[in-house]
Amino acid sequence: MEFDFAEEQPKFLMLMYGLIAFVAVVGGLLLLLDVVPAWFARRREAQLVAASTGGAPLPRRRKPREGLFALFFLLPTLLLLAIGLVGPAIRTVLLSFMDSGGNDWVGLRNYGWMFSEDSIVRVLLNTLIWVLLVPLVATTFGLLYAVMVDKARFESIAKSLIFLPMAISFVGASIIWKFVYAYRGDDQDQIGLLNQIVVSLGGEPRFWLQESPLNTLLLIVIMVWIQAGFAMVVLAAAIKAIPGDIVEAARLDGVTPWQMFWQITMPSIRPALIVVVVTLSIATLKVFDIVRTATNGNYDTSVIANEMYNQAFRYGEAGQGSALAVFLFILVIPLVIYQIRNLRQQREG
Amino acid sequence: MAFARSRQALAIAGVLGLALGAAACGTGNDKKSSNAGSAECAAYEKYGDNDGKKVTVYSSIRDIEADRLAQSWKQFEDCTGIEIDHEGSGEFEAQLPVRVDGGNAPDLAFIPQPGLLKRFADAGKLKPAAAATKTEAEANYSPDWLKYSTVNGQFYGAPLGSNVKSFVWYSPKTFKEKGWTVPTTWDELIKLSDTIAASGTKPWCVGIESQDATGWPATDWIEDVLLRTAGPEVYDQWTTHGIPFNDPKVADALNRAGTILKNEKYVNGGFGGVKSIATTSFQEAGVPITTGKCALHRQASFYANQWPKGTKVAEDGDVFAFYFPAIDPAQGKPVLGAGEFVAAFADRPEVQAVQTYLASGEYANSRAKIGDWVSANKKLDLANVPNPVDKLSVGILQDPKTVFRFDGSDLMPAAVGTGTFWKGMIEWINGKDTATVLGGIENSWK
């Protein structure tokens, strides 16, 4: 394929606009945050100097009206939240009680559909499997890894290795793993790592992503692969933060490594552990990219977020899609409340 | 220090300002002035005086096809001064409703699903076609075609491109070498498949993977077979839910298709077992014909674009297509096909002018000359169709004896047509039995 610069020019122009817009916005912000306060500071400085040398009256420092100030900064946020979050949320809830086009009220029919349609029950079940497995497995892996590499020789290298997948987008990671799971007929060269291993052990290549319920577990592996790094980083930091005297005291008391882990490490990092599990649970409830990229929700692998998109945008069933969205929202609420309470207790305690 | 830093910031801001100004100059205003008045533009005078107006078009047509589209209406743009701004998207079906609901509807959309068109028409989003458009469309297309864009007696726009789906691709070269002949009946087709299978080659190549739309090629199989076994009347009842989706006649059609699709001896040349059909992309599926790994591939006329570079598509070339044979002689020679319809979300005069032009014979011939395009437009001159498969298709579409039916999944409500039907076909290929799959689809149709 030849590269014709002239033909691609519109794209470059577009790219340039993007860059210019980025620089303009960020530059403008920097300017605003740097130059303007600096100018005020300098003026005040000059006044102070004038006051101390010339005997002019010291300018009275104005009392900052904190309430007004806070409102000034909060207003844009509140406005954007109302437009971008609260409004759509209310609309979604209303739509979930309406028919496919959002014209007539149908009561709880969409919710009834959700729990009676076999394929949707399957979707709910899959989501449950995801939410049970991902936080558990990812946190366990992260914790084990954090404990094992703690104060090891190449700690930072070992940590970055497991943290790297975090930098890959969900879609990118799914494409990578799709290749790992890829199938080719047994008379062809395997391009999938997993099937190549199976074949070199003398087995028949399998359709990994087409066999339910195995395929859901294989998709969960992708999520764990991405998220274990996050769990590891947070937990490793928590372990490092355990006061040295406690560890030393335990050592003097002669604990075994096992006792050390369960009676010192675990209680000390409990708050961090909860944060990790809750964050992972919320992320898992919302999982969409992995399923959509790897199987598109086929072969009984669909989850709520994917089905919600399909119903609302592809099938034109806004009501059913909204009902799924509301259900997802309800599932996330207790986790968020728990998280907030947990944080508040920590701050007070 | 603070002073120096702020001066630096000011300098940056100044440079930025200059850059922005320069960029603004760069875009310029390159509005074309129309050539109205010249001799070759005489034919476009009837589209009125809309110089300098702009019409936005949204479709699923991208890349080379989109370039050809732009080329096809270039003269119209030059002569009328109307600028047609086309945007193609791979997520067209999902994005169009979002854009329309969000108040950002395009002026015109090329909608390939009559089901989707009906949804917009029912919701009152579409503008009925102007009288001029209707007259033009009625002169150029058969009533069979126009009924797909007519909702509750209101006509919404003419068809644009079309395709013929009832084709089986094969290699004339290989057939000649092996002494195989093109089958003209279903029994001959099965006999040929057995012969090829006995020679150690998998006769059929099939692939239904198509990213978001995975499953659609399998729905075409079922529709083509049902049209042949049960006839067009039953087919119409089936697509409009006059009979249940899991009617015994549909089950029969599915099982008959299964004698090929789910036959380990027949499929899947070069790709693996039956299940590999679900993961083989439809674009790649037929390619093993060129390497002799399989012999037959049922796919639409537009598959001509998918062959590797250098493959000669002709009756005596590397690949060509034959008519997917009829099964029941009493049902005539049914043809399954599809196409897109030009629907309008705005009724400004320039939009109606473009809509009318796209329904005309001049447009059809202008687009056909560029290549790889088929239309059911009666004014389309066969001499303007370069590609032999397209010629064959246009011939079939223009033949008054052809019993044409539109792709069923595109006629059904989206939740079924592009939802459970596609999904059901994937599950069916993946091993689920006919009754369960059809029952599931029927349940989803409300």
One DSSP character per residue, A234-295 reads HHHHHHHTS-HHHHHHHHHTT--HHHIIIIIIHHHHHHHHHHHHHHHHHHHHT--HHHHHHT
User: In Å, how far are A48, A59, B8 from A45, measured between CA atoms?
Assistant: 5, 11, 20
What is the C-alpha separation between A107 and A103, in angstroms, rounded?
A: 12
User: In Å, how far are A193, B211, B348, B367 from B83, measured between CA atoms?
Assistant: 51, 33, 14, 17
* Residue B42 contacts A where some CB pair is shorter than 8 Å: no
pLDDT at position A63 is: 61
**CA torsion, ordered B52, B53, B58, B61, to nearest 10 deg:** -30
DSSP string, B412-442: S-HIIIIIIHHHHHHHHHTT--HHHHHHHHH
To the nearest whole angstrom, how far is the Cα of A136 from the nearest Cα of chain B? 31
Q: How confident is the model over A134-187, as pLDDT tens digits?
A: 999 999 999 999 988 888 888 888 888 888 898 899 999 999 999 999 998 877
Which chain B residues in 395-414 lie under 8 Å from chain A, judged by CB atoms? 413-414
pLDDT at position B22 is: 43
The number of helix segments (H) and strand segments (E) in chain A equals 15, 0
Residues β-bridged to residue B335: B404
On chain B, the residues whose CB falls within 8 A of the CB of A34 are 5-6, 9
Q: Tell me what the mean pLDDT of segment A206-214 comes to.
A: 90
What is the C-alpha separation between B117 and B123, in angstroms, rounded?
A: 10
Q: Tell me what the mean pLDDT of segment A237-262 comes to.
A: 91
End-to-end CA gap in chain A:
64
DSSP string, A79-131: HHHIIIIIHHHHHHHHHTTB-TTS-SB-TTHHHHHHHHSHHHHHHHHHHHHHH
Q: Which of A35, A117, A211 is most worth mutating to test chain B (most B CB atoms within 10 A of its CB)?
A: A35
**Cβ atoms of residues B129 and B155 within 8 Å:** yes
What is the C-alpha separation between B26 and B7, in angstroms, rounded?
A: 29
Decide if A34 and B276 are in contact by the 8 Å CB cutoff.
no
Record the tokens describing residue A283, joined without a space: 């992320």
Rounded to the nearest 10 degrees, the angle between the axes of helix B216-229 and helix B231-239 is 140
Record the tokens describing residue B300, joined without a space: 């639409």
On chain B, the residues whose CB falls within 8 A of the CB of A308 are none
φ/ψ (deg, to 5) at A170:
-60, -40
State the Cα angle at B270 between B420 and B267, rounded to 5°. 50
Decide if B3 and A42 are in contact by the 8 Å CB cutoff.
yes
What is the C-alpha separation between A192 and A199, in angstroms, rounded?
A: 10
Decide if B16 and A310 are in contact by the 8 Å CB cutoff.
no
DSSP SS3 for B322 = strand
Peptide bond before residue B268 is cis, with ω within 30 degrees of 0? yes
The count of C-alpha atoms lying within 13 angstroms of the C-alpha of B88, restricted to the half-sphere facing its C-beta, is 12
A6-20, A78-92, B45-59: least confident range: A6-20
On chain A, the residues whose CB falls within 8 A of the CB of B123 are 101
Decide if A35 and B10 are in contact by the 8 Å CB cutoff.
yes
Q: Tell me what the mean pLDDT of segment A38-46 comes to.
A: 85
Decide if B98 and A313 are in contact by the 8 Å CB cutoff.
yes
Is pLDDT at A118 greater than 90 in this prediction? no
Query: What ipTM is given for this predicted complex?
Result: 0.79
To the nearest whole angstrom, how far is the Cα of B275 from the nearest Cα of chain A? 8
Record the tokens describing residue B362, joined without a space: 């001049």
Decide if B19 and A20 are in contact by the 8 Å CB cutoff.
yes
Q: Which of B27, B86, B427 is most worth mutating to test chain A (most A CB atoms within 10 A of its CB)?
A: B427
pLDDT at position B29 is: 39
**Closest alpha carbon to A174 in A301, A310, A295:** A295
Decide if B6 and A28 are in contact by the 8 Å CB cutoff.
no
Residues β-bridged to residue B84: B55
Q: Using only C-alpha atoms, what is the Rg of chain A? A: 28
Residue of B97, B278, B420 lying closest to A210 (CB–CB): B278
Between residues A48 and A226, which one has the greater pLDDT? A226
For chain B, 446 residues long, give each residue's pLDDT as a single digit of tens: 444 444 454 444 444 444 444 444 433 334 444 555 677 788 888 888 888 999 999 999 888 889 999 999 999 999 999 999 999 988 888 889 889 988 899 999 999 999 999 989 998 999 999 999 999 999 999 888 999 999 999 999 999 999 999 999 999 999 999 999 999 999 999 999 999 999 989 999 999 998 888 999 999 999 999 999 999 999 999 999 999 999 999 999 999 999 999 999 999 888 988 999 999 999 999 999 999 999 999 999 989 888 998 899 999 999 999 999 989 888 888 999 999 999 999 999 999 999 999 999 999 999 999 988 999 999 999 999 988 999 999 988 888 778 889 999 999 988 899 889 999 999 999 999 999 999 999 988 87
Tokens 């009617």, residue?
Answer: B247
Q: Which of A36, A171, A207, A208 is most worth mutating to test chain B (most B CB atoms within 10 A of its CB)?
A: A207
Q: Where are the alpha helices (DSSP H) in B181-242?
A: 186-198, 216-229, 231-239
Residue of A38, A100, A185 lying closest to B276 (CB–CB): A185
On chain A, the residues whose CB falls within 8 A of the CB of B279 are 183, 207, 209-210
Q: Chain centroid to CA B233: how far?
A: 23
Decide if A28 and B13 are in contact by the 8 Å CB cutoff.
yes
Which chain A residues in 33-92 lie under 8 Å from chain B, judged by CB atoms? 34-35, 38-39, 41-42
On chain B, the residues whose CB falls within 8 A of the CB of A213 are none
Decide if A31 and B12 are in contact by the 8 Å CB cutoff.
yes
What is the C-alpha separation between B203 and B219, in angstroms, rounded?
A: 20
Which chain B residues in 80-109 lie under 8 Å from chain A, judged by CB atoms? 93-94, 97-98
pLDDT at position A58 is: 61
- How many interface pairs between A and B have CB atoms less than 8 angstroms apart? 103
DSSP string, B142-193: -HHHHGGGEETTEE---EEEEEE--EEEE-HHHHHHHT-----BHHHHHHHH
**Closest alpha carbon to B167 in B28, B347, B304:** B304
pLDDT at position A7 is: 72
* Residue A25 contacts B where some CB pair is shorter than 8 Å: no
Closest residue, chain B, to A116 (C-alpha) = B443
Contacts of B344 (CB under 8 A, 6+ apart): B107, B108, B126, B127, B129, B156, B157, B351, B352, B355
φ/ψ (deg, to 5) at B387:
-75, 130
Contacts of A206 (CB under 8 A, 6+ apart): A183, A195, A198
Contacts of B166 (CB under 8 A, 6+ apart): B224, B323, B324, B334, B335, B336, B337
What is the C-alpha separation between A48 and B83, in angstroms, rounded?
A: 64
Residue of B19, B94, B430 lying closest to A299 (CB–CB): B430
Tokens 């590999």, residue?
Answer: B276
Q: Which of B1, B430, B443, B446 is most worth mutating to test chain A (most A CB atoms within 10 A of its CB)?
A: B430
Decide if A299 and B426 are in contact by the 8 Å CB cutoff.
yes
Residue of B19, B419, B443 lying closest to A314 (CB–CB): B419
What is the C-alpha separation between B279 and B294, in angstroms, rounded?
A: 17
Dihedral sign for Cα atoms in the order A202, A204, A205, A206: negative
Residue of A23, A38, A119 lying closest to B2 (CB–CB): A38
Decide if B440 and A118 are in contact by the 8 Å CB cutoff.
yes
Q: Tell me what the mean pLDDT of segment A92-105 comes to.
A: 89
**Closest alpha carbon to B398 in B371, B368, B353:** B368
pTM for the complete prediction? 0.81
Contacts of B234 (CB under 8 A, 6+ apart): B226, B243, B247, B249
What is the C-alpha separation between A97 and A102, in angstroms, rounded?
A: 9
What is the C-alpha separation between A209 and A225, in angstroms, rounded?
A: 17
pLDDT at position B35 is: 59
* Residue A210 contacts B where some CB pair is shorter than 8 Å: yes
What is the C-alpha separation between B119 and B106, in angstroms, rounded?
A: 16
